[in-house]
Amino acid sequence: MATRYLQGLRELASECDALLLDQWGVLHDGRRAYPGAVECLRRLRDAGKGVVILSNSGKSGAENARLIEAMGFERALFDVVVSAGDDARDAIRAAEDDFYAGLGRRCLLLARDADSHVADGLGLEVITDLDDGPERADFVLVMSLDSPAQSVRGWEPVLRRAVARGLPMVCGNPDLARVTPDGGLFEAPGLVARRYQELGGVVRLHGKPDSRIYRTCLRHIQAPADRIVAVGDSLHHDILGGNRAGLPSLLIAAGVHREELGCRFGELPEPTRAQALFQQAGAVPDLVAASFTW
């Protein structure tokens, strides 16, 4: 079926019962809500739609909910926030397979300084000193990246030392880039995990597009799969994840692919150019909207 281009989400309202909704690049830019996003979400809720915010953030769902509320999305506008960070912490806590059971308890945490709490409650000895961290740790946990102050290049020596010791890595935010308030792109933790794999390290990724986090989301929704729409701005995460989960998907053009799509905020991309990008990414959305507006 050919990708359909929407003038607004009002065209989708009669076709779905619930949405799995990305936040960064769809609802907000990290500092403020995008124009029309609060009103659009309010109209969807007024129409009785279920809303699960599915985020690749390394922070907890509860912490993300507070941040979203602070940008003007009142708590009644969504049912729950499911985060990649929670997915990673759940797997570590449960030691659910041989990989997690064998991680050990000394964790080298790579994250923003403000996110040093993200490994709390896991019974781990958390190491944040990069000078000798790779030599003391049993595994690496990457959860956030304060770009440009922190970068893949800046962490490269630490990654090489960790790989040399054979430390496994758990990544609780697989995003490769995040949208900045001025419309640019910054590195995201998924690039750290990718580089670790390139160096020969073993990595477990949590979050979109992995099927595990979609199973968690679907437990919060009582609707048939063909009436649940996965909405996001990343072909590699939101759309691919929706495709793999068997859900209809909606790409928001105003996010991480805006430059590749050749459109400004609020503009729909040219379909031929968009289709070429979809084929290149190996992820084809059912629907495209310029932005998250009604």
Alpha-carbon dihedral angle through residues 189, 191, 197, 201, given to the nearest 10 degrees: -30
The two tokens of residue 116 are 């040093």
- How confident is the model at residue 269, as a pLDDT? 96
What would the pLDDT profile of 161-214 be if each residue is shown by its tens digit? 999 999 999 999 999 988 777 777 889 999 999 999 999 999 999 999 999 999
What would the pLDDT profile of 15-68 be if each residue is shown by its tens digit? 999 999 999 999 999 899 999 999 999 999 999 999 999 999 999 999 999 999
For the domain made up of 4-56+209-289, give the CATH fold.
Answer: Rossmann fold (3.40.50)
How many Å is the maximal CA-CA distance in the chain?
57
Does 218 score more than 80 pLDDT? Answer: yes
Residue range 87-205, CATH number: 3.40.50.1000
- How confident is the model at residue 56, as a pLDDT? 96
Average pLDDT over residues 61-80: 97
Asked if the domains at 4-56+209-289 and 87-205 fall in one CATH topology, the answer is: yes
Structure confidence at residue 1 as a pLDDT band (50, 70, 90): low
Boundaries of every domain in the chain: 4-56+209-289, 87-205
What would the pLDDT profile of 271-291 be if each residue is shown by its tens digit? 999 999 999 999 999 999 999
Task: Report how far residue 258's alpha carbon sits from residue 268's, in angstroms, rounded to the nearest whole number.
Answer: 10
Task: Report how far residue 293's alpha carbon sits from residue 8's, in angstroms, rounded to the nearest whole number.
Answer: 6
Strand partners, 177: 187
Q: What is the pTM of this model?
A: 0.93
Q: Do the beta carbons of residue 239 and residue 283 sit within 8 Å? A: yes
Of all residues in the chain, the percent with pLDDT exceeding 70 is: 100
Does 149 score more than 70 pLDDT? Answer: yes
- How confident is the model at residue 176, as a pLDDT? 92
Indicate the average pLDDT of the chain: 95
Does 260 score more than 70 pLDDT? Answer: yes
SS3 at position 227: helix
Does 116 score more than 90 pLDDT? Answer: no
